[in-house]
Chain A
Amino acid sequence: MKLGRYVDHKYVRYTPVDALRRAGRFLRRFFAPSNVKHAFKNVISARREYAVFFIALIATQFIFWSSVTVFDSRDATARAEASSLADWTFAVEGYTQEQWFDIYNRELLVADAREEQYRGYVSYDAEAYTVMGEKLYSVKFTLPENNRADCDFIVLKYSLDKEGTSVRYSPAVDYEEGRLASKAFETVVIIVAGAISAFMLLALFLIRTNHYKFKYGVYMSFGADFEKLLETAGWELFAIAVITFLPAAILGIGVSALTIGLSGGAFALEWDRIPLAMLWTFIVVLVAVLPSVKILSVKAPINLLKAEDNSNLVSSPRRSKRMFGKKYPFHYELLSFLRFRRYYINLLASAVAFSTFFFLGNFLSDMMIKSANTPVPAYTISAGEGGLDAYDIEELAETQGIDYVLWENSVSAIGIGAHAVISRNQAADNYSNTVPAAYDESLRADNNFKFLSLDEFMISTAEKNGLWSVEGDPRSALNEPNTVVVSEYINNSRDLDFEVGDKIIIAVFAEQSGSIDTSRNDKKYILTQQLEAYDFAYLELTVGAVVDFADTDGEYTIGMSPAMFSDITGKSLGVSEAQIYLEPDLSPAEKQTAYAAVRRMAAICGGSVNDTYSDLYKAVDERCGYQNALRTCAVAIMLTAPLIWFFSQSAFAKKRRKENMMLSAFGADRAAMKKQYLASGVMLAIPACVLATALSTLVCYLVFVLFNEKLAAIGVISGVRFNFAISPLAYAVCAILNAVCAVVATYLPFRKYCREVDEAEKRSRTE
């Protein structure tokens, strides 16, 4: 960017200090009391003209306030919930009696004698439990703060970490750990809301400056530069922002507080949101005003002055000839559409854009609900070396309070140098991981899958809980020879297309005959290398069932009997990770029982338990979900779509007044003119409906793909499979609103014109 300015034909470069000084001077002039007073007086006295900006600024600030209210309330709700779930800060589990006594006698007894600030913890509490006849201890520590670093410090300080033990953090610590990520998310939301708000105000402000082009043209003819225009045009919006600040805050906070209160969350709001709101609004308004004024200021004034007569209106001399022999009003108005096409395109684009935001808000909100309703395991067990076996898992699953247990014994094809040979039409068109197969050049080789060991218990768990959607019989993999089940999804996108009864061939590494370049980590490249350097043993298999495991993995699955699994992969049948899902609405005591069982199982297999605190996050989502705020914001944005329609159309109607007068001077009667404007409204309504629904669908689809596939691929969204469905209600609201607005916003200004003409007539008669 060039920093400088022409002064008397010479370009004078500024130092940054000069620039700052100039900015300071501009701001001082801008905020001069006379300016401020003038602006306030102006917007208040012309409030009808500015009504649209009042409403728009309330809507934008409403979005801000309801977002930050949700953020802060969510934070408070989560803290309250977390501290109600545990009165300790971290726990060390799995001490043997000997280990525990050792720590207690050597470290803690001494520490207990010291003051709290020196020993670092408030209190601790040991609890004994028995696993396979051995007495183990779990020790819960309470610290002054819920801070993971503090916990780790205490663990280190008193050498609490011993062989066979694991550290478990309380929900509160876990929550504080994730706070940074949610702060980042909040920042993103505030920025996105700012961008949408700025866009909305920009659209409205462009309509306004366009309407007042002539005035600004005169200003510029007599010396107004960019800064001067900004002063005259920009202040109005700032004044409105100041006036609406409080009402918008009350409305935004009120509505959010109400929805949060109704769903049982705790309302909270930080004081530092107030300066943030001011800054946010200032920037949003500035971003809306700057481009509009800049666009004006670079134009030659004469163009602005001349534009008044045909502002924005394009007529095309070639088409005008078609006016001959055409009828008033319908054909006439059709031609008007052509004449005013630039204006109409702008209008449709901005009105439709807001319907799209509404739609998107709703759609995202639906996605959030879906995501919140997807079950999350309460605990996961990471098993030690031996792994968990089928009996362990069955035993766990039958424990009181545990709903079901999921586990997976799988091996990636690429890890064992295996691949599948599939036909071209078994892969989707955009699936690009395959290379020509060595087995048969007309077939494709693919290594983007994993082998999964299936058993009866797994299948029946899935059936009982409705976890999979299945085509064919998954038990055929267990009961019939050379039969497997396959899945089709990779990162939530259906990249493969199998049918029950299809043949697929699995190529298993037999021996190496050449060397391999392992420098690149690209699956397809590795496969190409393997095809050249390896010899394979081929197994011809039949697809017994096509199963959607509803996972979001980056690989599809080929599932088989445990025997076949260990034959192919050479891997033992131990399970390295199990996910435990609890029954809903357990009492704390029941939960404790379930947890004890899980802990016991982890101890048996020499592994550790990870508590996901799913019920904490679920409770927060239920009481203080984003989805309600998102929906009210979507509605707030939707309500500004009529603003655009009415504001724009009534400004436009003023430009057509002279045309109306001429038409009636040359013989058009009221009835015909009424038809003209109604026709115009209908002609706008049709493309508005079509465009609004089409664009909304498109944008929602893109967002759907982004969340469902792209974000799943990089692991941001895991475990949730979204489906692309838009509620018919949203379609209806969007279409009806746009259609009604188009017709009414076109017709009402004409009515107003008629009334004014009648009044003028009456006045002249009585005079």
Chain B
Amino acid sequence: MEERRIILETEDIIKQYKQYDTVVTAVNRATFRVFDGEFVAIIGASGSGKSTLLHICAGLDRPNHGKVIVRGNNLSTMSADELSRFRGNFLGMVFQNHNLIPQFTALENILVPTLMCNKPDLSYEQHLKKLVTTLGIADRLHHLPSELSGGQQQRVAIARALINRPQVVFADEPTGNLDRKNADEVLELLIQTKELLGQTLVMVTHDLSIAERADRIFVMENGNIEPYRR
């Protein structure tokens, strides 16, 4: 196999939630690596810690123990501020529950990342047009999230994650609320942009037929991550 650059690497990640005397171990010694330009799918039962792991990899949360290295940068040694800028410059995130700002219209929500980082203009207009038409939300841009269906909200969230052309895209069940046809279209878009921009895509999904499209599949079980054996 030719030498490939590692873009994301985790080592022994542990994330626990304590509440009084019960301890929930959401992620338990997760170690895995993702190569540059790869499409990796993570599958696993509900509650197995997929979302938690993804948040940690995307620098949105800090693990209790372990190391996350993205683009050669150790996230745990970064300050909160540096981490924020790092996310803005290199990472994109599709949240499982969308996390759209309720007071903003779809378009405003999509544009949030462009306002938040100080990257020079990347000809958003064109990119935006292509994103929203492919995602089929072009006629819904001026609606508030509460006026959109679950699937539409999800597609707005995807557009928001891609608008900045991040180097690594983390997607937490981006097709969870979509029907077969729409899900395939969205997946197609994600893979297309990935190919076009040389992105890396880390996707959590329940859908094995979607996971099958990935270069590699990991499976999570009780907070542990393992390569999936087909």
> Does B84 interact with chain A (Cβ within 8 Å)?
yes
Interface residues of A in 192-232 (CB under 8 A from B): 214-215, 217-226, 228
Q: Are B80 and A297 in contact, with the CB atoms below 8 A?
A: yes
C-alpha gap A218/B74 in the complex (Å): 22
Let me know if A222 and B160 touch, CB within 8 A: yes
Query: How far does the Cβ of B124 sit from chain A's closest Cβ, in whole Å?
Result: 14
Q: Does A517 contact B (CB under 8 A)?
A: no
Min distance, Cβ A290 to any Cβ of chain B, angstroms? 14
Contacts of B60 in A (CB 8 A): 221, 300-302, 305
Q: Is A225 in contact with B85, judged by CB distance below 8 angstroms?
A: yes
Contacts of A224 in B (CB 8 A): 84, 88, 116
Q: Which parts of A292-319 form the interface with B (CB within 8 Å)?
A: 297-303, 305, 316-318
Complex CA distance for A224 and B60, rounded to whole angstroms: 12
B80:A222 contact, CB within 8 angstroms: no
The answer to whether B82 touches A6, judged by C-beta atoms less than 8 angstroms apart, is yes
Count, chain B residues at interface, CB 8 A? 33
**B-side contacts of A214, CB under 8 Å:** 99, 101
Check A302–B61 contact: CB distance below 8 A. yes
Closest CB in chain B relative to A339 CB, distance in Å:
14
Q: Given A9-B73, A218-B99, A301-B60, are A223 and B81 also a contact pair (CB < 8 Å)?
A: no
* Contacting residues, chain A, for B20 (C-beta < 8 A): 316-318
A218 to B104 Cα, complex, angstroms: 12
In the assembled complex, how far is the CB of residue A226 from the closest CB belonging to chain B, in whole angstroms?
A: 5
Do A300 and B62 have beta carbons less than 8 Å apart?
Answer: yes
Q: Is the CB of A220 within 8 A of B84?
A: yes
- Do the beta carbons of A225 and B99 come within 8 Å of each other? no
B117 at the interface (CB under 8 A from A): yes
A221 touches B87 (CB 8 A): yes
Give complex CA distance A223, B87 in Å: 5
Q: Do A228 and B116 have beta carbons less than 8 Å apart?
A: yes
In the complex, A745→B77 CA distance in Å?
45
Asked whether any CB of chain B lies closer than 8 Å to the CB of A8, the reply is: yes
Q: Which residues does chain A contribute within 8 Å of B112, judged by CB atoms?
A: 218-219, 222
Cβ < 8 Å to B, chain A residues 1-59: 5-9
Identity of the chain A residue whose Cβ is nearest the Cβ of B100 in the assembled complex: A218
A222 & B164 in contact (Cβ 8 Å cutoff):
yes
Q: Is B72 in the interface zone, CB < 8 Å from A? A: yes
Assess whether B78 is in contact with A6, with CB atoms less than 8 Å apart. yes
Q: Are B88 and A222 in contact (CB under 8 A)?
A: yes
Q: Contact size class for A?
A: 20 to 34
Q: Is the CB of A8 within 8 A of B73?
A: yes
Give A225 to B82 CA distance when docked, in angstroms. Answer: 7
A305 to B78, CA, bound (A): 20
B78, A222: Cβ atoms closer than 8 Å = no
Q: How far is the CB of A30 from chain B (nearest CB, A)?
A: 13
Known contacts A9-B73, A300-B60; A222 and B113 CB within 8 A of each other: yes
Instruction: Decide: B88 and A223 in contact? CB cutoff 8 A.
Output: yes
Q: Is B95 an interface residue (CB 8 A)?
A: yes
Let me know if A297 and B81 touch, CB within 8 A: yes
Within 8 A of A (CB), among B92-132: 93, 95, 99-101, 103, 112-113, 116-118
Q: Which residues of B contact A226 (CB under 8 A)?
A: 80-81, 84
CB atoms of B82 and A5 under 8 A apart: yes
- Within residues 52 to 70 of chain B, which ones have a CB less than 8 A from any CB in chain A? 55, 60-62
Q: Which residues from B are CB-within-8-Å of A297?
A: 80-81, 84
Secondary structure dominating the interface of A: helix
Whether A225 contacts B103 by the Cβ 8 Å rule is no
- Give the docked Cα–Cα distance between A226 and B160 (Å): 21
| CB pair B103 A222 closer than 8 Å | no
Q: Which B residues are CB-close (under 8 A) to A303?
A: 61
Q: Is B19 part of the binding interface, using a Cβ–Cβ cutoff of 8 Å?
A: yes
Give the docked Cα–Cα distance between A739 and B84 (Å). Answer: 43
* Bound complex: CA A249 to CA B55 (Å): 50
Task: Please tell me if the beta carbons of A298 and B80 are within 8 angstroms of each other in the complex.
Answer: yes
Give the chain B neighbours of A215 by CB distance below 8 A: 101, 103
For residue A302, which residues in chain B have a CB less than 8 angstroms away from its CB? 55, 60-61
Closest to A296 in B: B80
Question: Quick check: A222 and B82 within 8 Å, CB to CB?
Answer: no
Contacts of A300 in B (CB 8 A): 60-62, 80
B56 to chain A, nearest CB (A): 9
Closest residue to A229 on the B side, CB-wise? B84
Query: Are B74 and A223 interface neighbours, CB within 8 A?
Result: no
One of B72, B78, B113 near A223 (C-beta < 8 A): B113
Report the separation of the CA atoms of residues A215 and B72 in the bound assembly, to the nearest whole angstrom: 30
Interface residue? B79 (CB, 8 A): yes
Report the separation of the CA atoms of residues A221 and B74 in the bound assembly, to the nearest whole angstrom. Answer: 18
B89 interface residue (CB < 8 Å to A) = yes
Task: Write the nearest CB–CB distance from B65 to chain A, whole angstroms.
Answer: 15
Are B99's CB and A305's CB within 8 A?
Answer: yes
Which residues of A lie under 8 Å from residue B74 when comparing CB positions?
9
State how many angstroms separate the Cβ of B26 from the closest Cβ of chain A: 12
Question: Complex: how many Å from CA A6 to CA B72?
Answer: 14
Contact B93 A221 (CB under 8 A): yes
Shortest distance between the CB of A757 and any CB in chain B (Å): 15
Pairwise interchain contact B61-A225, C-beta atoms closer than 8 A: no
Residue of A at shortest CB range from B92?
A: A222
B63 to chain A, nearest CB (A): 10
How far is B100's CA from A672's CA once the two chains are assembled, in angstroms?
Answer: 34
Please, which residues of chain B bring their CB within 8 A of the CB of A218? 99-101, 112
Question: In the complex, are the beta carbons of A222 and B116 less than 8 A apart?
Answer: yes
Expressed in whole angstroms, the Cα–Cα distance for A557 and B33 within the complex equals 86
* Contact pick for A219, options B72, B73, B78, B116, CB 8 Å: B116
**Max chain B Cβ within 10 angstroms of own Cβ: one of A9, A220, A299:** A9
Q: C-beta contact mask, A272-298 vs B, less than 8 Å → 1, else 0? A: 000000000000000000000000011
User: How far apart are A406's CB and chain B's nearest CB, in angstroms?
Assistant: 67
B78 — nearest CB in chain A belongs to which residue? A6
Could you tell me if B101 and A317 are in contact, using CB atoms closer than 8 angstroms? no
- With CB as the reference atom, state the residue of chain A lying closest to B82: A6
**Given A9-B72, A9-B74, is A223 in contact with B101 using a C-beta cutoff of 8 Å?**
no
Contact flag A6-B79 (CB < 8 Å), given A222-B88, A222-B160, A223-B88: yes
Question: Given the complex, which residues of B lie within 8 Å of A219, measured CB to CB?
Answer: 112, 116
Minimum CB–CB distance from B207 to chain A (whole Å) comes to: 24
Instruction: With CB as the reference atom, state the residue of chain A lying closest to B112.
Output: A222
Interface-central residue, B72, B73, B80, B113, by most chain A CB under 10 Å: B80
Q: Which residues of chain A are within 8 angstroms of B118 by Cβ–Cβ distance?
A: 228
In the bound complex, what is the Cα–Cα distance between A479 and B163 (angstroms)?
101
| Bound-state Cα–Cα, A318 to B21, Å | 11
In whole angstroms, what is the CA distance A677 to B117 when docked? 43
Assess the B99–A222 pair: CB atoms within 8 A: no
Q: Within the complex, what minimum Cβ distance (angstroms) separates A36 from chain B?
A: 16
In the complex, which residues of chain B have a beta carbon less than 8 angstroms from the beta carbon of A223?
84-85, 87-89, 113, 116-117, 164
Q: Nearest chain A CB to B176's CB is how many angstroms away?
A: 17
Neighbouring B residues of A305 by C-beta, 8 Å? 60, 95, 99
Please measure, in the bound complex, the distance between the C-alpha atom of A357 and the C-alpha atom of B26, giving whole angstroms.
48
Query: Of residues A5, A219, A225, A305, which shows the largest number of chain B Cβ atoms within 10 Å of its Cβ?
Result: A225
Specify which of B78, B87, B101 is in contact with A9 (CB 8 Å cutoff): B78
Query: Given A218-B112, A300-B60, A300-B61, A225–B84 Cβ distance below 8 Å?
Result: yes
A650 to chain B, nearest CB (A): 16
CB-CB under 8 A from B116, the residues of chain A are 219, 222-224, 228
Report the bound CA distance from A316 to B22 in whole Å.
13
In the bound complex, residues from chain A placing their C-beta under 8 Å from that of B19 are: 317
**Shortest distance from the beta carbon of B115 to any chain A beta carbon, whole Å:** 8
Q: Mark A392-405, 1 if CB is under 8 A from B, else 0.
A: 00000000000000
Q: List 8 additional A-B contacts (Cβ < 8 Å) besides A214-B99, A224-B84, A300-B61.
A: A9-B82, A218-B112, A222-B93, A223-B84, A223-B88, A225-B82, A225-B85, A298-B80
- 21 example contacts (A-B, Cβ-Cβ < 8 A) are as follows A5-B82, A6-B79, A9-B77, A214-B99, A219-B112, A219-B116, A220-B84, A221-B99, A222-B164, A223-B87, A223-B113, A224-B88, A224-B116, A225-B81, A225-B82, A228-B118, A300-B60, A300-B61, A301-B60, A305-B95, A317-B19
* 8 shortest interchain CB distances as A-B pairs: A223-B88, A223-B117, A6-B82, A222-B113, A9-B73, A223-B116, A225-B84, A302-B61
